[in-house]
Structure 1
Amino acid sequence: MLNFSMKRLFILCLFLVFAFQNEGISQVKNAKHVILIGFDGLGSYAIPKATMPNLKKLMESGSHTLEARTVLPSSSAVNWASMLMGAGPTAHGFTEWGSKTPEIPPYEITKYGLFPSIFSVIRDQKPTAKTAAIYTWDGIGYLIEKDAIDLVYNGEKEELNIAKAIEVIQEGETTFMFLHLSEPDGVGHNIGHDTPEYYKELEAVDIKIGKLVAAVAAAGLADETIIMLSSDHGGVEKGHGGKSLEEIYIPWVISGPGVKVNHEINDLIMTYDTGATIAWILGLDMPKSWGGKPVEDSFQSF
């Protein structure tokens, strides 16, 4: 028979196992917060030529590739959905630039009404964790499981969304935040990609990156926050959606505790690997319907 001390130890072990199964164990030491920043229409082709010191510093402080790939078509709704849902369009069903409802029946639907995303994965496995979705483009609202998210904010103007994101950072309570910003896509459509005006807009984009990174540092959260940055597509002339590398190559940047420093990722990264990587960081089980894989090459070995 077990003595009293052994019984107590046994009960404690069972409690810890139960707690870990329900809350998830972070795969990355000290990673308590994940921020995913998505810039609409930010093509990888432009970054080497652009004046973007804050982005390039973020790349140097972590791991990156400029050859991550979109799904097809290389346009907005289908790719934002894929990024957050850990799977491609034939699984989640959103297939077009402005999809508001799935054009293909999703492989599965959660109790929140859509194909499972990183938001419902967090809500179901870490019910006490706080999440936030802040976005500029109205189309994002059709792609997220709003009932699974603590804060949903559509400020319409980028300045309002950045201010709200900084407010969330300062509170220091949110486990995962997705921030969507609409530029440089507007300049790409109205004036053109790979134009002087597009590169000028990238300087403004870089200032926004600097503000967000500085907010994390000012809140004293730099040592426990992973910042990820990516895009939905690039572009050619005034459009996108095609099969050229200028359209399908997107940046994929990650920096923070446990991330390799000044590391260029050579593995293939698809945009739906983003959701899988976030789930992996937070120690969560991925839905079987997800096709994404965590980008483990970004992280140090422990």
Structure 2
Amino acid sequence: MKANRVIIIGIDGAGNFIKDAETPRIHALLERGAYSYEAQTVFPSISAECWGSLLYGVGPDKHGINNDKASRETVPSNFPYSSLFGLSRAQWPEAPLAAFSCWEPINTGIIEANLDVHCVSKTDPELAKDIVAYIRSTPEFKLMFIQFDLPDAAGHAHGFGTPGQIKQIEQTDPYIGMIEDALREEGLLEDTLVILVSDHGGGGTHPNDHGSDHPMDMTITWGAAGYGVQAGAIDGPVSIMDTAVVAARALGLPERSDWEGRLPKGV
């Protein structure tokens, strides 16, 4: 038994500050699944390193992707690791796969090129509308990755975990509602696994920055809800690298022996 599709919703820079925000749709999604506000990201706690670890299931010391490389280079053809998109394309040569990322280097420098992934890079509000349109027009998709960026920008502008950033996290909440509503209205919600995760927090060593191993930078929100997941808070360690394992297990993809993630207890 497996899910028919997986959606990974990434909220950049939101750390575990989500727990302090008035986000009814995010909290409802997490609470109908397995979740933790004490999950851990990788060091250095920087976007490309973190999103790369989520998609490839290994740490930055292995995948070697960073912000500079992702902004300038594509993943080389001889790359020794395979992302969730690479595994999905090998499993389903013709299936629709999609990535909607406000921060364009995810689409161009973290996800492998030449996989025929439908990639869109726009601002968060426009991105949300395009995601809904894609769900309605292409219900047969197997894997979708989403990255909303404005909470990270607000953290850099106002300070991570401050009211200014919390407000932006709250303004992101309706986008999650739009996605869930579209899935429900198209009859797709019941056999979809939705994973919601932040890539890093911030404010640990500098109020307006991240990248350190301070708990404020390293502690993130992680949750999986939907097909095959029982509800409840996860009582145990969770890593951002576990995302690859959970998504692969849900889709029936072959799990790689080099993955450093695992299936969190309770998921």
TM over 0.5: yes
1:163 is matched with which residue? 129
Unaligned runs of 5+ in 2: none
Q: Per-residue deviation at 1:110?
A: 7.8
Which of 186, 196, 199 is 1:219 aligned to?
186
2-side partners of 1:133 and 1:289: how far apart? 24
2:47 counterpart letter in structure 1: S
Q: Per-residue deviation at 1:101?
A: 7.9
Which of 118, 123, 137 is 2:84 aligned to?
118
Q: Which 10-residue stretch deviates more, 163-172 or 184-193?
A: 163-172
Residue 155 of structure 2 corresponds to residue 188 of structure 1: yes
Residue 112 of structure 2 corresponds to residue 145 of structure 1: yes
2:169 counterpart letter in structure 1: L
Give 1:237-276 correspondences, 5 Å limit.
Answer: 237-261=207-231, 263-276=232-245
1-side partners of 2:20 and 2:77: how far apart? 45
2-side partners of 1:66 and 1:38: how far apart? 14
Q: Per-residue deviation at 1:226?
A: 1.1
2-side partners of 1:198 and 1:100: how far apart? 25
Q: Deviation digits for residues 54-113 of structure 1, max 9, x if unmatched?
A: 11111111110111111100111100000000111122112x44432899xxxxx88575
1-side partners of 2:64 and 2:99: how far apart? 21
2:98 is matched with which residue? 132
Q: Per-residue deviation at 1:202?
A: 1.6
Which of 47, 53, 56 is 2:24 aligned to?
53
1:189 counterpart letter in structure 2: H
Q: Deviation digits for residues 125-163 of structure 1, max 9, x if unmatched?
A: 2323321111111221211113124311222x1122212
1-side partners of 2:70 and 2:145: how far apart? 19
1:202 counterpart letter in structure 2: I
1:35 counterpart letter in structure 2: I
Q: C-alpha root-mean-square deviation of aligned residues, in Å?
A: 2.1
Taking structure 2 as the reference length, what is the TM-score of the superposition? 0.91
Contact 2:19 2:37 in 1 (8 A): no
1:179 is matched with which residue? 146
Q: Per-residue deviation at 1:223?
A: 0.9
Which of 55, 58, 61 is 1:84 aligned to?
55
Q: Per-residue deviation at 1:37?
A: 0.6
2-side partners of 1:241 and 1:147: how far apart? 31
Q: Per-residue deviation at 1:258?
A: 1.6
Contact 1:39 1:180 in 2 (8 A): yes
1:22 is matched with which residue? none
Contact 1:131 1:175 in 2 (8 A): yes
2-side partners of 1:148 and 1:286: how far apart? 19
SS in 2 for 1:100: helix
Contact 1:112 1:145 in 2 (8 A): no
1:192 to 1:110, Cα distance in 2 relative to 1, 3 A: closer
Q: Which 10-residue stretch deviates more, 196-205 or 173-182?
A: 196-205
Contact 1:76 1:98 in 2 (8 A): no
Q: Which 10-residue stretch deviates more, 190-199 or 54-63?
A: 190-199
2-side partners of 1:175 and 1:112: how far apart? 25
Q: Which 10-residue stretch deviates more, 70-79 or 209-218?
A: 209-218
Aligned residues: 261
Taking structure 1 as the reference length, what is the TM-score of the superposition? 0.81
Contact 1:112 1:147 in 2 (8 A): no
Contact 1:40 1:182 in 2 (8 A): yes
1:199 to 1:101, Cα distance in 2 relative to 1, 3 A: closer
2-side partners of 1:172 and 1:119: how far apart? 17
Residue 19 of structure 2 corresponds to residue 68 of structure 1: no
Whose radius of gyration is greater, 1 or 2? 1
Q: Percent identity?
A: 33
Unaligned runs of 5+ in 1: 1-26, 104-108
